[in-house]
Structure 1
Amino acid sequence: MTLEQFAAQHAWPLAKLLAGLCVSLLLANLLETLNWTRSLARFARPLVRAGHMRDVTGASFTLAFFSGMAANTMLAEAHRDGTLSDRELILSNLFNSLPTYFLHLPTMLLVAGPFIGPAAFVYVGLTLGAAVLRSAGIVAAGRALLPRPPEDCLECRLPERGPTWREALAKSWRRFKRRIVKICLITAPIYAAMAWLNQAGFFAAAERFVGERLAFLDWLSPKAASIVVFGMAAEFTAGLAAAGALLNAGELPVKEVVLALLAGNILSTPVRAFRHQFPYYAGIFRPALAMRLIVHNQAFRAASLVAVGVVYWLAA
C-alpha cells in the first residue's frame, strides 16, 4: 500500500473521526451540564400516580435527570426514615433507569454518531426503547403490587436552579479534557487494528474460533462477533471503533453491527456496572442492599435489551 493509499483509506477517515469526536464530546458535556432534561420533569407526576408510587419516588425520578447519585441519596434517606419499604425502594430505583439513561443520552448519541453514522440512531433508539420499556414495566408492577399512596408535594423536593452558562462551560471543558484523551487512545489503535486484521485474514480464523468455542454467538458472523469481543475487552468506544471500521469498509450491514453492539452491551455492562456503581452505591445504601439493587438493575436491563434486540432481529 502506497502512502497516498494509506492516507486516503485510513489516515484521513481516522482524522475526521477524531475531529468529530472532539466536537461531539464537548457539546455532549455542555448539554449534560446544563440539565437539558429539566423540561421533562412535568411527566413525573402522572407516571408516579399510575404506578401507585410515592411522591418521593417521583422527586427522585425527576432528580435522576440531573444526578443519579442525588436521586439515589433521596431514596436511601426515605428508606431509612421508613417512608419506603424494601419493595418500594427496589421499584423506585429501577424506575429511575429512564432518566438515568437520558442523563447520558447526548454523550451516547454524539459519540456513536461519528463512529457508525446513521446506525447510531438505530442503536441508540433501541437502547432508548429498552429504557422506556423498563420504566413502563415498573409502572405496571407498581400498580399491581403497591397500594395507592397518600398525596404529597413533589415539586417542593426538587432543586430550584441549574448551573449558569459560565459554570456549565467551565465544567464541560474540565470533563472534556479528562475524557477525550482516553477516547482517542482507545479509538486510534482499535481502528487501525481492525483495518489490519481484515487485510491479514484474521476473520477467516475467527470463523473457526466462533464455530468451535463461542457457540452462543453463532447467530452473528465472525466479523460481527469481533465487535462484541472488542467491546467486552475494552469499553464502549472500543466496540464502536471496531464497528465503525467494518461498517465504513462495507464488511457488515447495519443490522449485524447494531445487534453486535447490543450483544456487547449486554455481556460487558454487568461487570463494569459493578466496578463503577458498587463503590458509591455502598456509600449510599447498606452494602448488602447496594448489591441487591445492582443485581436487580442489571438483570432487568439485560432482559429489556434482549427483548428489543429480538424484536429488531425479527423485524429488520
Structure 2
Amino acid sequence: MKRVPLPALVLLIGLLALCVLAAVFQNPTGTFLLDPDRLLNRVIWPLLRLSFFISIGLFAALVVEGAGWTNRLAILARPFMRWGHLSNQIGSAFTTSFFSGVSSLAMLASFHREGKMGKKEVILAVLLDTFPSYFLHLPTTFFIILPLVGKAGIIFLLVTLAAALLRFGTVLVYTRLTLPAQESTLTAERSGSKTWSALFPGSLKRLSTRLTRILLIVAPVYMIMLLISDLGFFDWIRTSVALGIGENLFPVEGISVVILSLLAEATSGYAAAGAMLQSGTLTIPQTVLALIAGQIIGAPLRALRHQLPYYMGIFSPGMGITLIAASQCFRILSLVVAAGLFLMIA
C-alpha cells in the first residue's frame, strides 16, 4: 500500500488544529466540538456514512478489477472512446460512473498507481465523467423541479443537459486532436478471471489497506470543511457572489432564488423560483438564469464541502485538489456558455 505522504498529513493536522482554535475562540459555547450531541450528529455519523459509501465504491472497483471485467465495461463505451483516442481504462471508468462516481474514481486511482494512466489521462477521465454524473441525480431533480417551476424548470434542465453534452464533446474532440489512436486490446480476459471464493477475500484485504489510507485524509479534511463553514466562510462567499451576479442578470427579488438554493438546498430555490414566476416577479428567462446562477455558485461550494475529502483520500491530497478544481472550472465554463446560448435564443 502506498503510504500517505507525511508532509501532507502534517499539514492537514496543522490546518485542523488552527480551525479548532479559531472555532473555540470565536464561539466557545456554540461550537459543535464541545457539544456531544452535535458532535455525534454533525461529525461522527456523517463520517461513518461517508466511510460506508466509500467502502462500497472501493469494493465494487476492486471486484471489477480483480474479476477482469474492466475491458467488458469498456466495450459499452468503445465507439466514443475509440473516436476520442481514449484508452480502455478510461472507457471502463466512464461506464462505471453512470452507476457510481466513487467506484469510477477508485478505478482511476488504481490505474494511476499501477502506471496504466498518467496524470493527464486521469484529469481528462475525470472531466469526461462529468457527463455521466449529470444523469445520476437527474430523475430526482426532474420530478422535484417540474411541479415547482414548470416550463422554466424544463428549460433549465435542457440548458444543463446542453452544458453536459458540451463538456462531453469538448473532451472527445480535444483528445482526438491531441492523443494518438489507441490500439484495440479489448479481450474477454477469461483466463484472468477468478472465482468468487478467491476474489472476495483478496478484495476485502485490499479494501482494508486502501480504506485506512483514504480515511487518514478524509477525516481531517471533513473536519476542516465543517469548521470553516461554522466560521462563516461559505456563507460569506455565497452572499457576496450571489449579490454580484444577481444585480447584473435579473431583478433584486431574483437574488433570493440564488441565495435560498445555496443557504438551504436546491429544492428551496426551486420553490422560491416557482412562487416568483407565478406572481409575475420573474419572467421565464429570468427564472432560468436565476436557477443557473444558483447552480454555478452552489455546485463548486458543495463540491468543496462534500467531495473534496474523498477526492483527496482516494487520490493524493494534491491530485485530489487538482481534479476538483479542474472539474468544477470545466463545469462552470460549460454552464456559462450554455446560459449565453440560451440568452441569445431567448
Which amino acid letter does the alignment assign opposite residue 222 of structure 1?
A: V
Question: Within 1, Cα distance between the matches of 2:323 and 2:247?
Answer: 29
Answer whether contact 2:89 2:111 (CA < 8 A) is retained.
Answer: yes
Measured after TM superposition, the shift of residue 51 of structure 1 is 1.2
Equivalent residue for 2:297, pick from 245, 264, 267: 267
Which amino acid letter does the alignment assign opposite residue 259 of structure 2?
A: V
2:112 corresponds to 1:79: yes
Answer whether contact 1:231 1:237 (CA < 8 A) is retained.
Answer: yes
Which amino acid letter does the alignment assign opposite residue 271 of structure 1?
A: L
Which amino acid letter does the alignment assign opposite residue 296 of structure 1?
A: A
Measured after TM superposition, the shift of residue 252 of structure 1 is 1.6
2:134 corresponds to 1:104: no
Equivalent residue for 1:127, pick from 136, 144, 160: 160
User: Which secondary structure does the structure 2 equivalent of 1:65 belong to?
Assistant: coil
Residue aligning to 2:102? 69
Measured after TM superposition, the shift of residue 283 of structure 1 is 2.1
Residue aligning to 2:283? 253
Residue aligning to 1:202? none
2:242 corresponds to 1:242: no
Q: Deviations over 1:12-42 (max 9, x none)?
A: xxxxxxxxxxxxxxxxxxxxxxxxxxxx987
Measured after TM superposition, the shift of residue 56 of structure 1 is 1.0
- Sort the Cα spacing of 1:152 and 1:111 in 2 relative to 1 into closer, same or farther, 3 A: farther
Answer whether contact 1:266 1:302 (CA < 8 A) is retained.
Answer: yes
Measured after TM superposition, the shift of residue 241 of structure 1 is 1.6
Residue aligning to 1:303? 333
Answer whether contact 2:83 2:176 (CA < 8 A) is retained.
Answer: yes
- Sort the Cα spacing of 1:290 and 1:50 in 2 relative to 1 into closer, same or farther, 3 A: same
Equivalent residue for 2:263, pick from 228, 233, 236: 233
Question: Within 2, Cα distance between the matches of 1:119 and 1:127?
Answer: 12
User: Which secondary structure does the structure 2 equivalent of 1:53 belong to?
Assistant: coil
TM-score of the two chains, using structure 1 as the length reference: 0.66
Which amino acid letter does the alignment assign opposite residue 273 of structure 1?
A: A
TM-score of the two chains, using structure 2 as the length reference: 0.61
Question: Within 1, Cα distance between the matches of 2:129 and 2:114?
Answer: 20
- Sort the Cα spacing of 1:215 and 1:71 in 2 relative to 1 into closer, same or farther, 3 A: closer
Answer whether contact 1:228 1:260 (CA < 8 A) is retained.
Answer: yes
Q: Deviations over 1:262-291 (max 9, x none)?
A: 011101211111111112212211111011
Question: Within 2, Cα distance between the matches of 1:224 and 1:294?
Answer: 29
Residue aligning to 1:137? 170
In structure 1, the gaps of 5 or more residues are 1-39, 158-209
User: Which secondary structure does the structure 2 equivalent of 1:149 belong to?
Assistant: coil
User: Which secondary structure does the structure 2 equivalent of 1:83 belong to?
Assistant: coil
Q: Deviations over 1:212-266 (max 9, x none)?
A: x737632211122221122222221121121011112232221110011001110
Question: Within 1, Cα distance between the matches of 2:129 and 2:117?
Answer: 15
2:122 corresponds to 1:89: yes
Answer whether contact 1:50 1:139 (CA < 8 A) is retained.
Answer: yes
Which amino acid letter does the alignment assign opposite residue 276 of structure 2?
A: L
Q: Which moved more, 1:48-57 or 1:242-251?
A: 242-251
Residue aligning to 1:220? 250
Answer whether contact 1:58 1:154 (CA < 8 A) is retained.
Answer: no
Measured after TM superposition, the shift of residue 84 of structure 1 is 0.7
In structure 2, the gaps of 5 or more residues are 1-72, 191-239
Which amino acid letter does the alignment assign opposite residue 87 of structure 2?
A: R
User: Which secondary structure does the structure 2 equivalent of 1:218 belong to?
Assistant: helix
Measured after TM superposition, the shift of residue 132 of structure 1 is 0.7
Which amino acid letter does the alignment assign opposite residue 132 of structure 2?
A: P
2:195 corresponds to 1:152: no
User: Which secondary structure does the structure 1 equivalent of 2:323 belong to?
Assistant: helix
User: Which secondary structure does the structure 2 equivalent of 1:271 belong to?
Assistant: helix
- Sort the Cα spacing of 1:130 and 1:215 in 2 relative to 1 into closer, same or farther, 3 A: closer
Residue aligning to 1:51? 84
Question: Within 2, Cα distance between the matches of 1:82 and 1:70?
Answer: 18
Which amino acid letter does the alignment assign opposite residue 116 of structure 2?
A: T
Q: Which moved more, 1:281-290 or 1:296-305?
A: 281-290
Answer whether contact 1:59 1:154 (CA < 8 A) is retained.
Answer: no
User: Which secondary structure does the structure 1 equivalent of 2:249 belong to?
Assistant: coil
Residue-pair matches, total:
224
User: Which secondary structure does the structure 2 equivalent of 1:214 belong to?
Assistant: helix
2:307 corresponds to 1:277: yes
